[in-house]
Amino acid sequence: MSMEQQPTLPPVLRPANPPRRELSELASLFARSVRGDVEGVALSGITLATADLRPGEAFVAIRGVNRHGADFAKTAAEKGAVAVITDQAGADIAADAGLPILIVDDPRGVLGALSAWVYGTGAEDPLPLLFATTGTNGKTSVSHLLEGILDQMGVVTGLSSTAERHIAGEVIVSRLTTPEASEMHALLALMREREVEAVAVEVSAQALSRHRVDGIRFDVAGFTNLSHDHLDDYADMEEYFEAKLPLFRPDRAVRGVVCLDSSSGALVVERSEIPVVTVGTPSIAADADAATQADWVVVIDDERTTGTTFTMTGPAGTLTTTVPVIGPHMAANAALAIVMLLEGGYAWDRIVEALQRDGGIHAYLPGRTQLVSGARGPAVFVDFGHSPDAFEKTLAAVRRVTPGKVLMLFGADGDRDASKRFDMARTAVEGSDILVVTDHHPRFEDPASIRATLVEGARRARPDAEIHEYSPPEAAIVAAVGLVGDGDAILWAGPGHQDYRDIRGVRTPYSARELSRRALKAAGWPVPEPRWPVPYPDED
């Protein structure tokens, strides 16, 4: 496939009317030393990437794994950059770019503060109400649920999640779970410009470790859970946990809401440096007694393929409502979102009135246990979950709403945390009747080797299980549909909302949701019209 066929990267968003700042003032506030003349130079933005640079912006050059960003200083100058901000080594590399150079000790470490100053989006600046959600699983779901409920309340909203960015109704596909600090502050400035009242932001551990939310103080921080993941970035689970904690400091957030359903929730409460309120779902909690003692307790009332009804009780009252996805863990996510809104200052009566008027929560969660099948035939759910804990919860939820067999279809990321692959395979085979192993993002790993590891892990856990292996995924979903029938279910875990596969550095167009729909249609089952963009031509 040629590079022209790859899905295009979504744009970096900026305010339509960016502020004009004086480069000399930025230099006096942040630079250790300056090379060149900064007087009389106007600055309208800041970026890490020359591909997104616009005339009048400063280019921040950071040392990468293989190259220093300063190697691209000449390109930045050609595209209209007015300055380079970099470290001492970068300054020497960029010396002949013909731009003023501002030298700082740690360009990435200061990027958040720089961006907040440039765009006027620091903690003391007027901004929308900011909600942040962190945790291993559920961040995206909580963010979209926050936005959905706010929309039902008539609030103009913004969203930044793994799946999408939303600005007052405009939808843009995301690049990273949490944007780089320069993009994050530009996004907030744009949201303020469009009179957004409240913003839901998904905050990963990497975002905190890599300074992507520096310079932002959230009004409410939420914590979902912690489970085995990202050990390619962190030495162990303790280091991964520690990476999440900074969100619960006074410089990062005003208040917190913590789910007690995983054992790490109590540790977050214990270590939090800001006031926190707790939420618990005893029926799924690792410690049911602890969850029962939460400020807000969630009870599951009913589970169907179209949604989960629950009742939550706490200091402000009792609410029974429905979240439009399956699983008690999704009810827990919805309750967390509701309490975050309450802690953010929205009146309980206003929240309850909106949800009761509409007959439940109206939110679209792209690729989160998303039902893509029709009224007859096997129910097909496409999910973004890619950890053992996510597999366990989602499989259990699918099992409870399925009268027949449950088929699990999944693959594993290449060049990512390989230590969880056996646990993923074990959880998948133990929670399903039929297991189909396929490819996901192989990146630069051999996909056959990844599949072999998954099949081996599954056979170790259940030697007598029905296990199939198909490659590529286009063939796997067709085979999976042929293995089940009416009343059965397929859970395709991993791809979720994504519109590409990463194969040796090439983003190959791909949609698990659309492939599922086409496989069902080819098998003669009725399918609904898609609610998602299709990244490749229609089969007709």
**Side-chain-facing half-sphere of 290: CA atoms under 13 Å:** 16
pLDDT at 11: 64
Q: Is the pLDDT of residue 533 over 80?
A: no
pLDDT band at 6 (very low <50, low <70, confident <90, very high): very low
Element (H, E) at 102: strand 101-103
The residue assigned the tokens 């953010």 is 344
- Is residue 58 within 8 Å of residue 76, measured between CB atoms? no
More confident residue, 233 or 157: 157
- What pTM was computed for the model? 0.85
- Is residue 135 within 8 Å of residue 223, measured between CB atoms? yes
| Domain 20-119 falls under CATH 3.40.50.300 | no
Specify the amino acid at residue 190. Answer: L
Which token pair is 31? 């630079």
pLDDT band at 161 (very low <50, low <70, confident <90, very high): confident
Alpha carbon distances (Å) from 94 to 49, 61, 75, 90, 97: 15, 9, 10, 6, 5
- When pLDDT is averaged across residues 341-365 and rounded to a whole number, the result is 97
Strands 101-103 and 57-60: unpaired
* Secondary structure E strands in 420-488: 434-437, 466-469
More confident residue, 227 or 289: 289
Among candidate residues 322, 327, 332, the one with its CA nearest the CA of residue 359: 322
Distance CA(535)–CA(513), nearest Å, equals 11
Distance CA(293)–CA(275), nearest Å, equals 17
| Percentage above 90 pLDDT, the chain | 77
Architecture of domain 129-358: 3-Layer(aba) Sandwich (3.40)
- Is residue 152 within 8 Å of residue 221, measured between CB atoms? no
**The Cα angle at residue 140 between residues 136 and 142, in degrees rounded to 5:** 95
For the purposes of burial, counting CB atoms within 10 Å of the CB of 31, is it exposed (0-12), middle (13-18) or buried (19 or more)? buried
Q: What angle, 0 to 180 degrees and rounded to 10, lies between the N-to-C axes of helices 263-271 and 237-244? A: 50
Q: Tell me: the pLDDT tens digits for 62-119?
A: 998 889 999 999 999 999 999 999 999 999 999 999 999 999 999 999 999 999 999 9
- Is residue 295 within 8 Å of residue 260, measured between CB atoms? no
| Domain 370-522 falls under CATH 3.40.50.11540 | no
Total H helices, total E strands in the chain: 17, 26
Name, in order, each residue with C-beta under 8 angstroms of 211's C-beta and a sequence gap of 6 or more.
108, 109, 111, 112, 181
Among left, alpha and beta (phi > 0; psi -120 to 50; other), residue 36 is left
pLDDT at 233: 65
Q: Give the residue extent of every domain in the chain.
A: 20-119, 129-358, 370-522
The answer to which of 43-57, 163-177, 377-391 has the lowest mean pLDDT is 163-177
- When pLDDT is averaged across residues 279-296 and rounded to a whole number, the result is 97
* Secondary structure E strands in 124-190: 129-134, 157-160, 164-167, 170-173
- When pLDDT is averaged across residues 23-38 and rounded to a whole number, the result is 97
Distance CA(495)–CA(532), nearest Å, equals 14
Could you check whether 20-119 and 129-358 share the same CATH topology?
A: no
pLDDT at 35: 97
- Is residue 470 within 8 Å of residue 407, measured between CB atoms? no
Q: Is the pLDDT of residue 230 over 50?
A: no
Q: Supply the Cα-derived Rg of the chain in whole angstroms.
A: 24
| Average pLDDT along the chain | 92
- When pLDDT is averaged across residues 417-444 and rounded to a whole number, the result is 95
pLDDT at 231: 57
Which token pair is 274? 């800001």
For the purposes of burial, counting CB atoms within 10 Å of the CB of 173, is it exposed (0-12), middle (13-18) or buried (19 or more)? middle
